[in-house]
Structure 1
Amino acid sequence: MAELGFEVMGLDIDEAKIERLRRGELPIHEPGLGEVLRRNLDAGRLRFTTSYEEAAAFGDVHFVCVGTPQKKGENAADVSYLDAVVESLAPHLDRECLVVGKSTVPVGTAQRLADKLVRLAPAGAQVELAWNPEFLREGFAVHDTLHPDRIVLGVASEKAEKVLREVYEPLGDVPIIVTDYPTAELVKSAANAFLATKISFINAMAEVCEAAHADVKLLSTALSYDERIGGRFLNAGLGFGGGCLPKDIRAFMARAGELGADQALTFLREVDEINMRRRARMVDLARELAGGSFHGCTVGVLGAAFKPNSDDIRDSPALDVAVTIGRQGGRVTVYDPVALDNARKAHPQLSYGTSALDAARGAHVVLLLTEWQEFIELDPEVLGSVVSDRKIVDGRNALDPEVWRAAGWHYRALGRP
C-alpha cells in the first residue's frame, strides 16, 4: 500500500519485530520485499507501531492480516488472533472507518466479527467490516500484491465497496468481484481446496505409475496440453506443505461439518491422505537405497523450507522426511539456502550443513526435498566427489535422470521408473 502511494502504519504486538521493521529489516525471507520496505521507509510513507490507540487514530482503512492456524488436536481453524485484534482495536475506533479482513477463515467468521466491531467500537455502526481475501504465493508475494489476477470484495454496503475500489484503483485494470461476506470467505478456501486436489491428483497418479512402471513426469506433460487441465500444480513429488494448504483444507472440512455439509468435502480427506502418503513413500525409497535400514547410514537432505524462495518451514514435507529418517536411526544432515535458522530452532536434534556439498559429505543417500534452483543446477560429478555412495532420491522430480545416471548415480524419483 505504501508502494501505491498511501500513508501506511503497520502494527504488531511483537516489539522486537517492530524494531527490526523500523530499521528496514525483514523478519521473513520474501524476494523483493526488503527493497520495497526500505524504499517506503525512506520516503516517509511507511512506519510501524505496537500501539492500537495510535493505529486507530491514524487509519481510515485497517487491514487485518493475522494468522488462522490449525487448532491443536483438531482440524478446525484457530481464529482467536482475529478476535484479539478486533477486541484490541475496536475500543479505540471513535470515528468512521473500514476494517478489512485478509485472513483465511471459516465461513461465517466475517459476520460475527462485523457484529463485534459495532458492539465494541465507540463509533458503533460507523465502523464497517469488509472481507478481502489474499491470494499471495510465498516467494512471489510482492508481484502478486502489485499485479493481482483478481480482487474479491466481500462487503455489506456500497460505501465499503467504494472505499475499497479507491484503495485498489492505483493497481489499474484488475478484475474485481463484489460479493457478500460468506462468498468472499469461501473463495480462498475453495481455491486452496482445488489446488490441493490437483496436486494430490497427480501424486495419486504417481502411485499408479510406480505400480505400473510408468513415468508420471511424462504423464503430467501429456495431460498439461489439455487446456481443461493445464500444467500448473501438476508436478508430482513430495506434495504440499506450508502454512496454508494443509491447515486450510482441514479447516474447510471441519467448517463444512459444522454447517451440515460434511459430505460435500469428504474427498478432501483423501486429498490430505494422498499428500501425507508421499512423505512416507519418500522415506521408503530412501530406505531402499540405504539397503533396507537407516542404521549406520548417513543421509544428506537438500531442502528444509516447504517450497523454494521461502524460509517457511511450517508443515514442511522436507523436514518431516528428515525427522522421520532421524528417528529411524539415520544420521541426517540438512542444508537449505535460507531456512536453516528456522529449521535449527524447530529441530535441533538434526545436523545442519553450510552448503549442499557439506550436507552431502560422506552420505550414503542424498535426498532432494525442496527444489531450490541451486540444487537443480548441482553438478552430479562435483556432488559425487563428496558422497560415500552415488545414490539420490529426487523428491521433486526436478533433476534430469539421464544426466545423473550418466554420472554414475543410482537415481530414483517419486512416480518414475
Structure 2
Amino acid sequence: MHVTVIGTGYLGATHAACLAQLGHQVLGLDTDAHKVAALNSGTPPFFEPGLPELLRRNLAAGRLQFTTDYALAARYANVHFLAVGTPQRPGSYAADVSFLHAAIRALAPHLRGHHVIVGKSTVPVGTAQALQELADTLAAPTATIELAWNPEFLREGHAVADSLRPDRIVLGVQACPAAVLSQHPAPEAAKPAKQQPGPSADRGSFAEPAPPSLAEAALRDIYAQALAQGTAFLVTDLQTAELVKVSANAFLATKISFINAVSEICEATGADVVALSQALGLDQRIGPHFLGAGLGFGGGCLPKDIRAFMARAGELGVDQALTFLREVDAINQRRRQRVVDLAREACGGAVRGHRIAMLGCAFKPNSDDVRDSPALAVAGALALAGAQVAVYDPQGMANAAQEYPTLEYADCAASALRGAHLVILATEWQEFCDLDPHAAAGWVACPQLIDARNALPVPAWQAAGWTVRALGRTLD
C-alpha cells in the first residue's frame, strides 16, 4: 500500500521506516526541512537501536522518502498516519494538541476521493472526534475523510521490534458497536482497491461500495504480516482507543511509583527492596516487570501522559477518579530528591566543592532522550548546590548539553570518574553495569558509590573497597 506518515519525530520516523520494511510505499512528512533532509540522507534525528540500518535499507530500496509538501502527501496515498507530538501545555498539566489540528488543517483541503487519517499520537480522550469534525469542515466536496485512532505502544530502545512484532494492535473507528477482539481476515469487499505506484500520480479512491469502516479494511492490509503471525487486533470506538495508551502508561507509572513508595518503607525499616521486588514479581498476578525500585521514570511519555490524563479527567468532571496519579507523580519526584540527599550525606553534609561523577543522563538506557530525565534532574540539582558535576552517557550528552550547558561532559566513564569524590549510577546502561569496580577504584579520589538504579553487583563493588548506597536498601 501507499501510506504517508505525518510527523517524523521519534514515533513518526520509526513508524515510517517500519512500514517500509513491511513492504509498503511510505512518504514521511514534516514541516522541518532540515529534519527531512537528514532523514532522506539516512540519518535519524535521534538514537534508536536498529533504526539507522532500517532507514537506509528502505531509502535505498525506494520504498521510503520524506517531504515537506502536504499537497504531495495528499496525492501519494489514501491512508495517512498522524504522528505529531502532543507535549505538555506550558503552565498546565493538559496536553497540547495544536500540532494535530495544524496537520489536519494543512492536509484536509488537498484531499480528493476517499481518505483515512489514522492517529498514532497519545491524546486526551475526545481528540479524535474533534479532529473528525475539523476535517469535515475543511474537506473538498469531492472528498470524504474517515478519522480513526491506532495508538502506538513503542518502548524507547525497543521501538523497531515493537513496531515490526507488536503484542497487540488497537484501532478505534467511528460508530463501532462494541469492542470485539477479532483476528479473522477482512472480507474481500472491504479491502481497498489496488493502487499503482508512483509519488506524483493521483491515488484514486477505495473500491466501491465503501465498507462501514475504510480504516479497518486499510489497517488489516497494512498490518497483514503481524495479523498472519497471530497478533491480536482489537477494534473499538474512538474513545476507547484513545484511552488505551494513556491508561497503559498510567498503570505502568503507578506500578513504578508503588515499588518506589515501598522502597521508602524499606529504607526506614532496614528491609531490602530488591529482594522484596523479586518476591512480588513471582506472583503471577503481579509479574516482575516495572518493579525495579530506583530513581524513577522520566522521558517524553509517562510524566506528561499521567498529567494530561488527570487534566482531562478534570475537564470531564471526574477528576476524583484519577487523584491517585498526583501521588504517583509526587513519589516519582521524591526519588530524585532522595538521591540528592544521599549525595549530601556521602559528601559530609554538603556537596559544594566536591567532584561528582554522574554515570548516565538519558532517562533510560538505549536512548538519547533526556526529556524529564531523572538522571539529568539530579545532575542539575547537584550542580546548583555547588558540586562539580561530570556527566558521561553513551548517547544522551548532546541533548543534555542543550538543557544544562554548564555541566561537564566527559568523553568516557573513566574520564568522568577521574578525581571524583562520589559516583552516581543514574542510568543503567550495560556499559556501566559491566564496569570493573577494581579499575574504577583507581580512577576516583574517594570510592563512594550511589547505585540509584539498583543495577550493580553490590558485593563485587564492596569487595573492591567501595562504600555503596542504594535506594530502598541498607548496605553494610
Give distance in 2, aligned partners of 1:196 and 1:326: 28
2:111–2:143: 8 Å Cα contact kept in structure 1? no
The one-character-per-residue Cα deviations of 1:46-84 (angstroms, maximum 9, x if unpaired) are 011011111111011100101100011110000011111
Give distance in 1, aligned partners of 2:458 and 2:50: 33
The one-character-per-residue Cα deviations of 1:135-181 (angstroms, maximum 9, x if unpaired) are 00000000000000000000114332111111111222210110001
Give distance in 2, aligned partners of 1:123 and 1:7: 28
The amino acid across from 1:178 in the alignment is: V
Q: Does 1:229 align with 2:247?
A: no
| Partner residue in 2 for 1:24 | 42
**Residue aligned with 2:80, SS:** strand
Aligned-pair identity in percent equals 60
1:96–1:123: 8 Å Cα contact kept in structure 2? no
Equivalent positions of 1:229-268 (< 5 A) are 229-268=286-325
Specify which of 356, 360, 367 is matched with residue 303 of structure 1. 360
Q: Does 1:159 align with 2:214?
A: yes
**TM-score, normalised by the number of residues in structure 2:** 0.87
Structure 1 residue ranges without an equivalent (≥5): none
Q: Does 1:390 align with 2:408?
A: no
| Partner residue in 1 for 2:125 | 107
Specify which of 67, 86, 111 is matched with residue 68 of structure 1. 86
Deviation at 1:345, TM superposition (A): 1.3
**Residue aligned with 2:221, SS:** helix
Deviation at 1:127, TM superposition (A): 1.0
1:95–1:123: 8 Å Cα contact kept in structure 2? no
Structure 2 residue ranges without an equivalent (≥5): 1-18, 175-211
| Partner residue in 1 for 2:64 | 46
**Residue aligned with 1:338, SS:** coil
Count residues with an aligned counterpart. 417
| Partner residue in 2 for 1:288 | 345
**Residue aligned with 2:223, SS:** helix
Specify which of 330, 343, 362 is matched with residue 387 of structure 2. 330
The amino acid across from 2:243 in the alignment is: L
Give distance in 2, aligned partners of 1:44 and 1:352: 40
| Partner residue in 2 for 1:380 | 437
Give distance in 1, aligned partners of 2:295 and 2:312: 27
Q: Does 1:188 align with 2:245?
A: yes
Specify which of 127, 137, 148 is matched with residue 119 of structure 1. 137
| Partner residue in 1 for 2:23 | 5
Give distance in 1, aligned partners of 2:142 and 2:307: 35
Specify which of 109, 119, 125 is matched with residue 91 of structure 1. 109
2:113–2:143: 8 Å Cα contact kept in structure 1? no
Deviation at 1:130, TM superposition (A): 0.6
Specify which of 258, 264, 269 is matched with residue 201 of structure 1. 258
Give distance in 2, aligned partners of 1:320 and 1:158: 46
1:8–1:46: 8 Å Cα contact kept in structure 2? yes
Give distance in 2, aligned partners of 1:123 and 1:283: 61
Give distance in 2, aligned partners of 1:397 and 1:298: 22
Give distance in 2, aligned partners of 1:314 and 1:296: 28
Q: 1:208 to 1:123 in 2, by over 3 A?
A: farther
The amino acid across from 1:52 in the alignment is: Y
Give distance in 2, aligned partners of 1:329 and 1:78: 36
**Residue aligned with 1:151, SS:** strand
